[in-house]
């Protein structure tokens, strides 16, 4: 898991039911995330499935994103089990998704890989932020702050997966508790 | 305990478990394919070491199916990676494309090959792994990291899901199929209506369904966000499984007084054919209410709608008639492909019926256009096509082009639509 517990920068705002085909279209699933060059390429295609009316997400010249925080509505990451989805966001340089709720496998893959923090907002935030607004996520305090006016929104506690997140992913956790060899 | 809880309890070594418990569960089968297998193997070697051995070669099944008939070099490289790994680990269940062991779509092949057994656990690097609950197994989709973990450790930490029970009774009307049933349910509860839950299907209408149709229902549980779909095994299940494997298995059943989170009841005799309109599987509409939707392409295939029973339904509609639009037929597996030749309606094989109706040349088995894929994928959309499809997802861009529109439908409705060129209730043919 990323070690920073304070994430600051512009947000990229999405809506409900952001599916894995929007996050990483299937034509890019020939890329293998464990190959470093292909991992970076996946980052450059993060959210490439969005309709053309959306601004490009990975818009930096080097294929990364200027948006470290993604805001979504309900059921973020629905669809496929492709781990390429949280990996694309993480490889692009995003640090956290803040959504009202998650599809199960996307949430699980985010935690297991440690690519991004999948955080749940206590209220709907899609209307509270516009793409490009500056925000700060404080993971220890479970808050996201809109920096233009200082308004603070609560995040839900991480819950049962907290030990896995704290350890830094599935393998680190399993080693910590002695389930697999160090 | 429910059937899902019983299986998870047995495979975790616990006597009693409850929804919300986080438990380590043994993997009966780990399934992977060409899109997620190479990444899974990469994680396995990175974490367990270059010389690591898989936990049990007998429990790993590799069924390449996604990007098989393409000139894409990376797709071929990925299959080569699987091939090398199967050799290195001496895996008996690698179904190699380009050889006679190649099968096709993993979720149709896995039960066909006898790898799905009641009471066991199956983890697969594909969200539609929930299909296999149709045979009374606990079966769920996972990512590469969890799969890499299972490859080495043979188990996974999972949260026990609460169960949503769906009781379907009544007699199936003519031209209504399992696809309609699950589209009705998803339309009612929404694409996140079963998030983190087990969807358990029961009732006389479920008992009356064949195995292919039961698979269609469990296949789409993930489209409501479910962790798994499950149907208790019965004699049909046991007959199907025993004809395909000699491995011993012990079915499990839920307790009559098991606690469930909710129960919904349906009288299927009152249901009508439906479609899911773009761009979500819960966007339900009656097929007869969509007559004004003109269609460019009809697609019959995939783990949801490319099984033998699906093609029997489509052939019943198409027999002796001509299609009005581009119609694509993709049998899910080699066995289904052979079934198109061996299965006859009124003396004519399904293949002959489709060919006489004027469909496109029947494609070899694979996932093909269900999920778009490389640019040269059979049936992939490239423009503003309106497609009626027997597949499972109608997300923006799902079949390739962001501008095309996908309507999900049953094989009956898809075939009826192929004949008229606009969305058609199969009862009108």
Same domain flag for B108 and B189: yes
Q: Which of residues 338-377 of B touch A (CB under 8 A)?
A: 371-375
Short-list B281, B357, B370, CA closest to B331: B370
Confirm whether B298 is domain-assigned: yes
H helix or E strand, kind and range, residue B4: helix B3-12
Task: Note the pLDDT of residue A159.
Answer: 80
Same domain flag for B216 and B320: no
Q: What is the arithmetic mean of pLDDT over B287-299?
A: 98
Note down the domain range covering B19.
Answer: 3-245
Confidence check: pLDDT of A1 > 80:
no
What CATH number is associated with residue B287? Answer: 3.30.499.10
Q: What is the arithmetic mean of pLDDT over B356-362?
A: 98
Residue appearing with tokens 């304070």 = A6
| Residues A112, B280: C-beta atoms closer than 8 Å | no
Confirm whether B212 is domain-assigned: yes
Task: Note the pLDDT of residue A2.
Answer: 45
Task: Share the mean pLDDT of chain B.
Answer: 98
Confidence check: pLDDT of B390 > 60:
yes
Q: Tell me, yes or no, if B68 comes closer than 8 A to chain A by beta carbon.
A: no
The Cα A138–Cα A1 span in angstroms is 15
Which among B153, B395, B398 has CB closest to A180? B153
Q: Which of residues 151-170 of B touch A (CB under 8 A)?
A: 152-153, 155, 157, 159
Helix (H, G, I), strand (E, B) or coil at B240: helix
Task: Note the pLDDT of residue B358.
Answer: 98
- Is the CATH number of domain A6-155 3.40.50.620? no
The complex's ipTM? 0.97
User: Quick one: closest CA in B to A29, which residue?
Assistant: B35
pLDDT tens sequence across B312-346: 999 999 999 999 999 999 999 999 999 999 999 99
pLDDT tens sequence across B128-150: 999 999 999 999 999 999 999 99
pLDDT tens sequence across A3-34: 578 999 999 999 999 999 999 999 999 999 99
Per CB-CB distance under 8 Å, the chain A contacts of B52 are none
| Residues B143, A112: C-beta atoms closer than 8 Å | yes
Q: What is the arithmetic mean of pLDDT over B381-404?
A: 98
Which residues face B345 on adjacent strands? B348
Same domain flag for B215 and B279: no
Residue appearing with tokens 């092949």 = B109
* Angle, vertex CA B194, rays to CA B9 and CA A114, nearest 5: 75
Same domain flag for B140 and B289: no
Last residue of a domain, one of B224, B245, B266: B245
Same domain flag for B292 and B159: no
Q: What is the arithmetic mean of pLDDT over B238-262?
A: 98
- Count the domains in chain B: 2
Confidence check: pLDDT of B352 > 70:
yes
């Amino acid at each position: 898991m990323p070690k920073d517990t304070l994430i600051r920068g512009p947000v990229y705002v999405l809506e409900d039911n952001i599916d894995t085909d929007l996050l990483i279209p299937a034509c890019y699933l020939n890329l293998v995330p464990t190959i470093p060059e292909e991992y970076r390429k996946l980052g450059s295609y993060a959210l490439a499935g969005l309709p053309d009316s959306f601004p490009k997400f990975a818009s930096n010249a080097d294929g990364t994103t200027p948006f470290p925080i993604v805001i979504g509505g309900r059921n973020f990451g629905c669809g496929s089990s492709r781990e390429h989805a949280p990996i694309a966001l993480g490889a692009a340089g995003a640090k956290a998704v803040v959504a009202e709720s998650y599809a199960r496998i996307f949430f699980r893959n985010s935690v297991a890989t440690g690519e991004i923090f999948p955080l749940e907002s206590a209220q709907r935030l899609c209307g509270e932020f516009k793409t490009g607004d500056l925000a700060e996520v404080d993971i220890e305090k479970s808050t996201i702050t809109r920096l233009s006016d200082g308004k603070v929104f609560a995040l839900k506690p991480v819950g049962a997966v907290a030990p896995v997140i704290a350890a830094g992913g599935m393998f680190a956790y399993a080693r910590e508790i002695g389930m697999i060899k160090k | 305990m429910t059937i899902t809880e019983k299986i998870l309890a047995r495979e975790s070594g616990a006597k009693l478990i409850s929804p919300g418990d986080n438990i380590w569960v043994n993997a009966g089968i780990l399934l992977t394919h060409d899109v997620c297998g190479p990444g899974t193997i990469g994680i396995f070697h990175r974490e367990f070491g270059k010389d690591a051995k898989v936990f049990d070669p007998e429990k790993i099944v590799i069924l390449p199916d996604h990007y098989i008939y393409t000139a894409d070099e990376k797709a071929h490289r990925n299959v080569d990676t699987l091939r090398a790994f199967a050799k290195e680990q001496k895996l008996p269940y690698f179904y190699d494309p380009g050889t006679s062991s190649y099968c096709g779509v993993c979720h149709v092949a896995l039960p066909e090959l006898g790898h799905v057994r009641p009471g066991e656990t199956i983890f697969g690097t594909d969200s539609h792994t929930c299909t296999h609950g149709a045979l009374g197994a606990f079966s769920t989709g996972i990512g590469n990291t969890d799969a890499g973990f299972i490859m080495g450790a043979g188990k996974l930490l999972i949260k026990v899901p609460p169960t949503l029970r769906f009781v379907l009774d009544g007699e199936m009307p003519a031209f209504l199929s399992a696809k309609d049933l699950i589209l009705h349910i998803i339309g009612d509860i929404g694409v996140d209506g079963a998030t983190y839950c087990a969807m358990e299907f029961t009732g006389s209408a479920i008992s009356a369904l064949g195995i292919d149709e039961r698979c269609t229902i469990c296949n789409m549980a993930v489209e409501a966000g479910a962790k798994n779909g499950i149907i208790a095994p019965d004699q049909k299940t046991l007959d199907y499984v025993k004809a395909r494997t000699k491995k011993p298995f012990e079915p499990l059943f839920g307790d009559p007084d098991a606690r469930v989170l909710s129960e919904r009841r349906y009288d299927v005799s009152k249901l009508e054919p439906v479609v899911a309109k773009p761009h979500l599987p819960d966007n339900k509409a009656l097929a007869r209410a969509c007559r004004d939707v003109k269609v460019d392409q009809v697609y019959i295939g995939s783990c949801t709608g490319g099984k033998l029973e699906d093609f029997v339904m489509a052939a019943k509609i198409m027999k002796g008639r001509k299609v009005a639009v581009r119609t694509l037929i993709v049998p899910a597996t080699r066995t289904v492909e052979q079934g198109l030749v061996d299965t006859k309606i009124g003396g004519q094989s399904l293949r002959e019926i489709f060919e006489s109706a004027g469909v496109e040349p029947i494609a070899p088995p694979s996932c093909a256009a269900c999920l778009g894929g490389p640019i040269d994928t059979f049936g992939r959309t490239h423009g503003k096509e309106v497609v009626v499809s027997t597949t499972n997802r109608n997300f923006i861009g799902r079949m390739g082009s962001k501008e095309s529109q996908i309507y999900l439908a049953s094989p009956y409705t898809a075939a009826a639509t192929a004949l008229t060129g606009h969305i058609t209730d199969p009862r009108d043919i």
